[in-house]
Amino acid sequence: MRIVVLLSAGRHRVSGRPSLPGVEAQAIALAAALADAGEAGTGGERPPSAMSFSGLHAGPGDEGIADAFGHGLEAIDRLEIAEGADPLPALARHLKEHPAELILAGRRAEGGEDTGLLPYALAEALGLPILSDVTAIAAADEPGALRFDQALPKGAKRRVTLRLPAIVTVHPLAPAPAPFVFARARRGVVRTLSGLPAPVAASPFAEKPHRARPKLMRSAAAGSGAADEAGDKLHVHPDPQEAARLILDHIERIGIRRYS
Amino acid sequence: MNRPRRDPRTERAAHAVPAAGRPRFDLASDVPLTRRRRRDPRGEFARALVPGAARLRLDRGQTGPSDFVMAYAVGAEAELPQLRVVETPAFLVFAVLDAGEGRLSRFDRQALGAARLLADAGPGGGAVVAIVSQAVEGLGSAGADRVVPALGRSGDAADDHPPADDPANVARRLAALIAEHEPRHVLFAETPVGGDLARRLAAGLGEAILTDVEYLTARTASRASRGGRREQAGAPPRLMAIGEDRVADYAGIPCEARQIAGPAEAPSSGESPVLSVEIIPGDPATMSLAETDFVVSAGNGVTDFGAFRELAAALKATPGASRVVCDAGLMPREAQVGASGTVLTADCYLALGIAGAPQHLQGIAGCEHVIAVNTDLHAAMVERAGLAIVQDAQLVMPALLKLLKERAP
Ligand SMILES: Cc1cc2nc3c(=O)[nH]c(=O)nc-3n(C[C@H](O)[C@H](O)[C@H](O)COP(=O)(O)OP(=O)(O)OC[C@H]3O[C@@H](n4cnc5c(N)ncnc54)[C@H](O)[C@@H]3O)c2cc1C
Ligand SMILES: Nc1ncnc2c1ncn2[C@@H]1O[C@H](COP(=O)(O)O)[C@@H](O)[C@H]1O
């Protein structure tokens, strides 16, 4: 099985220096765990279809990308494209010529446009299914499929069994990346392949320095549910049974929990 | 109480007569008034006036009209419309809502507020169409003119394949709906579900999208890029995913929320790669305070902590505590709610024997529903609560446990 981890040229949030985004390091850890499990699953013998996983990047340089070696990646291919050009055509052509069963990407890049759109556009271009916000990957009972855990709000999970090939984006709640090994990062060599010339992506939006905009204050203001509850909100010395009934009815009415 | 405000620039533009050479204006023609609202100091004064007092008394602390104001302003009330109806909208604005468990979240209301903002700003006035996957209450008062039900369901087949809530399927139906109605804007809330759907749709339609919008007016929308160093801004595009707590929700006259037909049957793409889907709910007992949706909290008024823990488990809530309790070692420090503990994002907060010190109230400022049990009628928590029970917590806890056992099947 071939696994490809998509790597983007990130910038560190604080220092602004080239670095590998955290979720992509986590994606590498997920791919490594999957490859290990695949080899172990065949009882030590060489599996018929050997697991392989590598990184893929489309961009003008490998600054920051090479950090991925330090997190345990063994091979990285870089598709040479011009500065500012759209990486999608180059990535799509490469992945069509060298198909992968599983393509892992970050949820959002850090330091580019950060829209998180690239995996979706790639899925559309390759005609593959896409699954977002994955935190764990495990083998499934069906052959040629894997079981993914998707992070949902409030600690919930969605467990999806998906037939491969597929594109998957990784959520920051996935297991922590392997510790960074400087010597490995130094030793690794990025293989450069020719990309596909694409026009410099013209965005319909103007770009300017960021201006921080305050968020709205969270309060139980008028219009939200709390202010609508008219009357009947204060009960002085009710019977405890009555008080319990009032509380449970209130919780069920506002739809937080159901107890029956 | 609000009168429309004149906008001299648009009036001037409306009067302009196309002519070569010098600009010419025909001032006699009818001018449409703009729809911007203006403050009415007299009306505000009248609303704050406390009637029946010997001296002039103003109560400025009110957030909405209270009963006596309604009595006072009977005449005015008669002419105010009770329901806002947009019969023939000039255009449509879609708001795609998560609305899990059949109720609107804060964030859903904000998405509707953003849609309302764009609908009211456009020429001719548009209508907000709420797109939900199941029946949801309170859409009208949150600002929806129309409702398209059941986006996620393709019928009542229980074993339909692909699963009805497969996002690829939902995106396909949504695309069909957009092709049918051609809305001017389609807004999403930047949640895991809404953000995923927005990106699928943008990739499918090959259209520009602004995700995680930080600032939205009728003329501009912007989002942070390059790791928060730069921002992308422009006229609001058709597709947008709104960030949380960026746009205020709608607080006007309820809209009608009329049901309109659901999407026409979208073409299915044959065999689905999704083999099975299972939702594993989060366990409130092990969830951190910051991410849970329901907290039961104990203060200095609680003495029986065994019963308290049992109650939290039975209510399926995450246990919390005030600082006094944590300082005394009765609850772990991670359980502390407040300014020096955890600031909650929960929807509901049940406070047992907590006075409601400012440092504690800061921690629950974002909770929409607060329930207080306290022996002191004048405690700050009782004032903050949407349901306040003035009773001994040691008596209410066992009663709650007993009732929960009775109700459990
Ligand atoms: C810098 C600073 C930071 C702080 N940060 C925090 C913080 O993060 N979180 C926090 O919680 N506090 C914080 N505090 C402490 C805060 O000021 C209060 O002291 C504390 O919140 C009070 O906790 P309490 O309401 O549980 O106790 P009390 O103030 O003692 O109130 C107990 C309440 O229980 C009621 N009661 C008594 N017996 C019963 C009964 N049998 N049944 C029902 N009700 C009963 C009483 O009427 C009273 O209202 C901070 C203080 C400072 C100075
Ligand atoms: N130039 C690129 N080459 C390879 N992968 C990329 C590139 N840009 C983005 N990606 C992948 O797409 C994810 C989301 O990127 P974005 O859409 O830019 O937020 C990133 O986390 C990467 O995994």
Helix or strand (DSSP H, E) at A10:
strand A10-11
Shared-domain flag, residues A15 and A105 = yes
Shared-domain flag, residues A87 and A23 = yes
Q: Of all atoms in ligand 1, which is nearest to the CA of residue B356?
A: 25
Q: What average pLDDT does this structure show over B318-336?
A: 94
Distance of alpha carbon A222 from alpha carbon A224, whole angstroms: 6
Shared-domain flag, residues A219 and A190 = no
Query: Does a structural domain hold residue A128?
Result: yes
| B316 contacts chain A (CB < 8 A) | yes
Helix or strand (DSSP H, E) at B43:
helix B41-48
Residue B67 confidence (pLDDT) above 50: no
Q: What integer pLDDT is reported at residue A225 of this predicted model?
A: 43
> pLDDT by residue (tens digit) across A160-177?
999 989 999 999 989 999
Query: Does a structural domain hold residue A204?
Result: no
Helix or strand (DSSP H, E) at B276:
strand B274-280
Shared-domain flag, residues A39 and A87 = yes
Q: Select from B199, B275, B284 the Cβ nearest to the Cβ of A162.
A: B275
Q: Quick check: A11 and B293 CB within 8 A?
A: no
Ligand 1: which residue has its CA nearest to atom 12?
A: B323
Q: What integer pLDDT is reported at residue B154 of this predicted model?
A: 46
> In this structure, what token pair is assigned to residue B106?
């804060």
How near does any CA of chain B get to the CA of A180, in Å? 22
Residue B404 confidence (pLDDT) above 90: yes
**Percent of chain A at pLDDT above 90?**
56
Q: What average pLDDT does this structure show over A141-159?
A: 87
Residues present in chain A in total: 260
Ligand 1: which residue has its CA nearest to atom 30?
A: B300
Query: Does a structural domain hold residue A61?
Result: yes
Which of A124-133, B147-156, B197-206, B371-380 shows the lowest mean pLDDT across its residues? B147-156
Q: How far is the CA of B345 from the centre of ligand 1 (A)?
A: 20
Query: Does a structural domain hold residue A199?
Result: no
3-state secondary structure at position B197? helix
Q: How many CB atoms lie within 10 A of CB B329?
A: 8
Q: What average pLDDT does this structure show over A128-141?
A: 92
Q: DSSP letter at B124?
A: T
Distance of alpha carbon A249 from alpha carbon A231, whole angstroms: 15
Distance of alpha carbon A41 from alpha carbon A139, whole angstroms: 10
The long-range contacts involving A207-214, CB below 8 angstroms and separated by at least 24 positions, are A207/B225, A207/B230, A207/B231, A207/B232, A207/B233, A208/B230, A208/B231, A208/B233, A209/B229, A209/B230, A209/B231, A210/B224, A210/B225, A210/B226, A210/B228, A210/B229, A210/B230, A210/B231, A211/B231, A213/B214, A213/B215, A213/B246
pTM of this prediction? 0.78
What percentage of chain A's residues is helix, strand, coil (to nearest 5)?
25, 25, 50
Which residue reads 């699928």 in tokens?
Answer: B200
Shared-domain flag, residues A60 and A28 = yes
Q: Select from B234, B365, B388 the Cβ nearest to the Cβ of A218.
A: B365
Shared-domain flag, residues A112 and A188 = yes
Q: DSSP letter at B100?
A: G
Q: What integer pLDDT is reported at residue B159 of this predicted model?
A: 44
> In this structure, what token pair is assigned to residue B202?
């943008």
Q: How far is the CA of B353 from the centre of ligand 1 (A)?
A: 8
**Average pLDDT value over all residues in chain B:** 84
How near does any CA of chain A get to the CA of B310, in Å? 15
Which of A51-55, B78-82, B193-197, B334-338 shows the lowest mean pLDDT across its residues? B78-82
Distance of alpha carbon A146 from alpha carbon A163, whole angstroms: 7
Q: Are B324 and B271 in contact (CB under 8 A)?
A: no
Say which CATH number the domain at A23 has: 3.40.50.620
Which of A78-92, B109-123, B262-276, B364-378 shows the lowest mean pLDDT across its residues? B262-276
Shared-domain flag, residues A220 and A156 = no
B301 vs B169, higher pLDDT: B301
Residue B379 confidence (pLDDT) above 50: yes
pLDDT class for A121, splitting at 50, 70, 90? Answer: very high
Query: Does a structural domain hold residue A203?
Result: no
Q: Which domain holds residue A188?
A: 2-194
Q: Of B262, B215, B100, whose CA–CA distance to A211 is shortest?
A: B215
Shared-domain flag, residues A118 and A52 = yes
Query: Does a structural domain hold residue A201?
Result: no
Query: Does a structural domain hold residue A110?
Result: yes
Q: Select from B192, B206, B407 the Cβ nearest to the Cβ of A259.
A: B407
Shared-domain flag, residues A27 and A137 = yes
| B268 contacts chain A (CB < 8 A) | no
Q: What integer pLDDT is reported at residue B59 of this predicted model?
A: 77
**Average pLDDT value over all residues in chain A:** 86
Shared-domain flag, residues A19 and A54 = yes
Shared-domain flag, residues A138 and A238 = no
Which residue reads 């957030």 in tokens?
Answer: B63
Q: Of all atoms in ligand 2, which is nearest to the CA of residue A23?
A: 21
Query: Does a structural domain hold residue A202?
Result: no
How near does any CA of chain B get to the CA of A242, in Å? 9
The identity of residue B50, as a single letter, is V
Q: What integer pLDDT is reported at residue A254 of this predicted model?
A: 83
> pLDDT by residue (tens digit) across A180-202?
999 999 999 999 998 887 777 67
Shared-domain flag, residues A161 and A220 = no
Domain count, chain A: 2
Q: How many CB atoms lie within 10 A of CB B93?
A: 26
Residue A24 burial by Cβ neighbours in a 10 Å radius (0-12, 13-18, 19+): buried
